[in-house]
A and B are shown apart, each in its own frame.
Chain A
Amino acid sequence: AQTVTQSQPEMSVQEAETVTLSCTYDTSESDYYLFWYKQPPSRQMILVIRQEAYKQQNATENRFSVNFQKAAKSFSLKISDSQLGDAAMYFCAYRRIGQFYFGTGTSLTVIP
Chain B
Amino acid sequence: DAGVIQSPRHEVTEMGQEVTLRCKPISGHNSLFWYRQTMMRGLELLIYFNNNVPIDDSGMPEDRFSAKMPNASFSTLKIQPSEPRDSAVYFCASTKTRAEQYFGPGTRLTVT
Bound together:
no
